[in-house]
Amino acid sequence: MIRVIIAEDQRMLRGALGALLNLEDDIEVIAEVGNGEEAFKSILSLQPDVCLMDIEMPIKTGLDVAEELKQLGSPCKIIILTTFARPGYFKRAVNAGVHGYLLKDGPSDELAETIRKVTQGKREYAPELVFGSLQEENPLTEREREIMKLVAEGKTAKEISAELFLSSGTVRNYISEVINKLNVKNRIEAISIAQEKGWL
């Protein structure tokens, strides 16, 4: 019997996946949790074979949990299940030694099969990620992201400069640089693109 924990903050999906997996004779869902911290705790206490884990969850992300478990040398196999095909996420997940990385856009009927493979030590990654077409790498520096987030809230260069203890000229230089990098014509388009790609 393969013992599984599901960590996913959207209740409807969590419940549905639980029901779906419980249909399989060789799989048993022993817990369903809604945030990263609970996931971490219940993996330690219940010692499941596999944890199906979302990335964006309250308190701790799934990647945080995976990294901490790796440090502790936990034998629990992690399968990341997320909406996001961002290369940054994927890279971090692979480094954290996760055994699977699936997309919520993928088919639900292969899920059980993936769980079985993973318990045998195999690894399974969504083909979209392994082959090309991974979303572009975030080209913005930390500082640029920080500033663009404030820009996206509608703050002016002057306000941002006061908040970050810079001159307003410097802020405008940063924004200008971002506009240039993203190859767009103004800050609003830059916001629009950056948000769409998840770079913000």
Q: Does 11 help bind its own copies (rule: CB under 8 A)?
A: yes
99 phi and psi, to 5 degrees? -90, -15
Q: Which residues of 4-17 are buried (b: 16+ CB within 10 A; e: fewer)?
A: bbbbbbeeeebeeb
114 binds, among DNA, its own copies, none (CB under 5 to 8 A by kind): none
Residue pointed to by tokens 């506009």: 179
State the nearest-atom distance from the C-beta of 149 to DNA, in Å. 14
Hey, which residues between 41 and 80 contact its own copies (CB under 8 A)? none
Element (H, E) at 111: helix 111-119
Instruction: Please give the structure tokens belonging to residue 144.
Output: 């640029």
- Kindly write out the interface string for residues 148-167 of this chain, putting x where it contacts DNA by CB under 7 A and - elsewhere: --------xxx--x---xxx
Q: Does 17 help bind its own copies (rule: CB under 8 A)?
A: yes
CB 6 within 8 A of CB 14: yes
Would you say 20 or 184 has its CB closer to DNA? 184
> By C-alpha distance, which of 58, 51, 60 is closest to 81?
51
Hey, which residues between 85 and 144 contact its own copies (CB under 8 A)? 102-109, 111
Q: Does 195 help bind DNA (rule: CB under 7 A)?
A: no
Q: Which of 26, 141, 162, 195 binds DNA (CB under 7 A)?
A: 141
Q: What is the largest CA-CA distance in the chain?
A: 65
Residue pointed to by tokens 């790796």: 70
112 phi and psi, to 5 degrees? -60, -40
State the nearest-atom distance from the C-beta of 61 to DNA, in Å. 23
Interface region with DNA, contact rule CB under 7 A, candidates 21-29, 32-40, 56-64, 185-193: 185-193
Which strands, in side-by-side order, build the sheet including 100-103? 27-33, 2-7, 50-53, 77-82, 100-103, 124-125
Would you say 10 or 168 has its CB closer to DNA? 168
Instruction: Please give the structure tokens belonging to residue 140.
Output: 């913005």
172 binds, among DNA, its own copies, none (CB under 5 to 8 A by kind): DNA
Residues that bind DNA (CB under 7 A): 141-143, 156-158, 161, 165-167, 169-170, 172-173, 175-176, 179-180, 185-188
Residues that bind its own copies (CB under 8 A): 10-20, 23, 81, 83, 102-109, 111, 151-156, 184-193
